[in-house]
Amino acid sequence: MSKSEYLAGYDPRAYPAVAVTVDVVALTIIGGVLHVLLVERGEPPYAGRWALPGGFIRPGEDLDQAALRELSEETGMTDRVHIEQLASYGAPDRDPRMRIVSVSYLAFAPDLPDPQAGSDAADAAWYGIDNLPKLAFDHERILGHALERARAKLEYTPLATAFVGETFTISELRRVYESVWGVPLHAGNFHRKILSVPGFVESTGETTESGGARGGPRAKLYRAGDARLLHPALLRPEREEEIR
């Protein structure tokens, strides 16, 4: 069959159906450690294995809507949730049931409630990023890509404010960066840097009710500013190993 015949006669409806799913990498910070939301699968394939929450898109539903729905089914949250699309995965054998193309999403939220298991999941829980179980499908790869994206976006967008409350201190913001990047940052320099980026944070004029748990003065409170990009960016410390 020539290329022309192949193309002219190609009709997707003549082939086995393709299904499209969304998989959500939902991140939050618990006790200073980055956590990801996982569900324990109740049905084959991979029954009993942990996986990213996700599911099939429904008729009339846009991809973003599907991701937000899947997330709210597990967490109940729809407010103050930042969600954005990541990559899509379509290896022919990535799901043993049928051809499935999955669109992955990244979500961030502050102090999330305990997750609720959906009916297709036996359980749902937040897992510390350094304490992950083996995941179903190609979800480890998806999670890896999502983490790298999250780390990079902290550098040049005000994304970190999505991990904290409506108002926050500079130290709280610093702990977000430290948790996601996994490196300690210099408190003094970080403080100055944040305040020097136009539109990143704006002062509320208030301070915390009391000092820190282990002492220290009351900290000034800030809220997210109107910047969509940070300029100059907050660059991660040198990562020589990633360059080549």
Partner DNA sequence: AGAATAGTGTCTATCAGACACTATGTC
Partner DNA sequence: GACATAGTGTCTGATAGACACTATTCT
What residues line the site for DNA (CB under 7 A)? 169-171, 186-189, 191-193, 195-196, 207, 210-220, 232, 235, 237
Burial (0-12, 13-18, 19+ Cβ within 10 Å), 12 = exposed
Q: Quick one: 95 or 172, whose CB is closer to its own copies?
A: 95
Q: Quick one: 80 or 186, whose CB is closer to DNA?
A: 186
Which of 49, 55, 132, 190 touches its own copies by CB under 8 A? 55
Does 186 bind its own copies (CB under 8 A)? Our answer is no
Cα separation, 39 vs 19, in Å, equals 21
* Residue 87 binding partner per list DNA, its own copies, none, with a CB distance cut-off of 5 to 8 Å that depends on partner kind: its own copies
Which of 34, 38, 103, 109 touches its own copies by CB under 8 A? 103
Q: Which positions from 201 to 230 touch its own copies by CB under 8 A, shown as an x/- string?
A: -------------------------xxxx-
Which of 40, 73, 95, 172 touches its own copies by CB under 8 A? 73
What DSSP assignment string belongs to 145-168? HHHHHHHHHHHHSGGGGGGS-SEE
Cα separation, 87 vs 25, in Å, equals 11
Find the shortest distance in angstroms from Cβ 234 to DNA.
Answer: 7
* Residue 19 binding partner per list its own copies, DNA, none, with a CB distance cut-off of 5 to 8 Å that depends on partner kind: its own copies
Does 120 bind its own copies (CB under 8 A)? Our answer is yes
Cβ atoms < 10 Å from Cβ of 214: 5
CB 83 within 8 A of CB 69: no
CB 154 within 8 A of CB 178: no
Does 237 bind its own copies (CB under 8 A)? Our answer is no
CB 133 within 8 A of CB 47: no
Q: Which runs of E-coded beta strand occur in the chain?
A: 18-30, 33-41, 50-51, 54-56, 82-89, 99-108, 121-128, 167-168, 201-207, 220-224
Q: How many residues bind its own copies (CB under 8 A)?
A: 49
Tokens standing for 19?
């299904």
Cα separation, 175 vs 192, in Å, equals 15
Contact range with its own copies by CB under 8 A, out of 75-83, 89-97, 134-142, 169-177: 89-97
Q: Which residues would be at the binding site for its own copies (CB under 8 A)? A: 3-5, 7-8, 10, 12-13, 15-20, 55-63, 73, 85, 87-92, 98-99, 101, 103, 118-120, 198-199, 226-229, 231, 238, 242-244
